[in-house]
Chains A and B, each alone.
Chain A
């Protein structure tokens, strides 16, 4: 296992990438991206067995699907910094003729992306399909999927949750980013999700909880705990509490930065809070 300090340094660089990407084009979604930076680094740098020499079928490797595609900045940064494509390409985020579309897509052939996402609530179904494909292929690797909490308001998720438990899809780990915020406010105010633990339990999932979803050490150990629960005929979920905008003090404790880019002064302040570690692109 890499030492935690070096992973935290990696996370800090990812935060800088996110902030600079959205600032440059004055658009994009920094809040949720920052909130999941630790999760992505834990997954790609520590937990998943994956191959940056990308091929779509991903046989004999762990796969990851991002359902809440609007947090593409964190996905792109972590893929680039894991050598899926040159980090300089982060400069093209949301620009015309770029492979780094506003929301992730396979359409432009960006290595590391296996499905388009952005229209919410579809990623879990796709991940389940990929998990079934692995079972047919007798491929023992794991499928990971990340979903936002707001997108659980989409009904398709509950079709998928019901299916995975009923059919014993036990090679999948679904993580829910519980930041409690969506575009119009808190999830409690917009459409209260109720007790997700009891919902997931009653849908037949093994449901783990992580209170500190911005603590990379705890994320890694929770993901490993989830992996140890695979193969028992039951799908596994992690309800992971995160802080939207984590790592930038003025972006935390608010939903204001869901889909808003920092201005020049705000970027400067945010970068001061996250000094360069691996080298900016």
Chain B
């Protein structure tokens, strides 16, 4: 019986005008979006490899420890999944003078966007008259006179409706996949395909939530023209308003200190104040030092001193000791001042983290936001990847400083008077930052709560729809 109901729904839907319209839209928009995104992703790949080779070339001639760390910053390479999902990967780079504010005006269109906005709208268009429309036509009365349980009718509608909705989407997705396969520069791996499969599951749950929501609203109304109004209002609130309000509400509830103020203060602490403290410490230490080594005077610097050191071993020893003394003073200044700055930075980071978390929690009341997070995390374009990237960058940073210490120790050993900080250095053996996408297993495991949430929303809506439909007056 159930299969007959499902078949009836599918048949009724497939020959309807709305099916044709939605299918046409999805079949055009998805492949066009994938085509444009894939092209853009290839350009990004090209640019990234050019950037890398430029840096390597550069390091051959101008590497010096004073500013090396600024040149070799960890960078996120473009991922194959950029052909489908962009998440928050677009670089607005508001921290640079030459920023790129275009995505602020109009966010990129990607698969997430298409599912979150277009497919949810299509789901409501499919289901807004599922109950009240049949009542208006009189078919609902007839159907119930056959002794069919209402639960079965409802279930048949959900399954039949969702299947007809997902079919054109699946076809469109396959077209998109063909485009990706025809773009060999985007080397999709097994993990990418697995993530896409799960993304489709998420999309199916998301779409069925909206279908069931439409069903619920339909069972609350007795005319389909009223039902579509309520459905659209609910859709606007769920998809277009709740997610967008959430970060603003979070910043009201859980404010963070001014970034600019903290930035300026930490910059001053580690720059001007650091220099002041360093010079003071150097002066203090050297005052003691010159008492011990009267051979040295304050003016024994530069080429002259170096020439004298060649001839006079005692002088040379004193010179070396002084270099060490000065270095120790600066090390201490650096330590003290960066500890002060870190207190400020940590406080800011903690408060911003709390705010982001709260914003995310607020937005999770909207399935559209849940789906966006799910899609972004599955494809390494979201918050999860930010964390992962930060962790990789931290590990690399540690390796980098280990390398710097080892390298400079070797340089000092060779020539104790060397100015290793400001001299060109061969960094062929420096560890390079290599981005590795988080393993598919971890990403998939991380996506399970999101999937569960979407399924929970769907079940809740189904329970509500059932309650409303059982009480529905079909006359």
Are A and B physically bound partners?
Answer: no
Residues of chain B touching chain A, judged by Cβ–Cβ distance below 8 Å, are none
Residues of chain A touching chain B, judged by Cβ–Cβ distance below 8 Å, are none
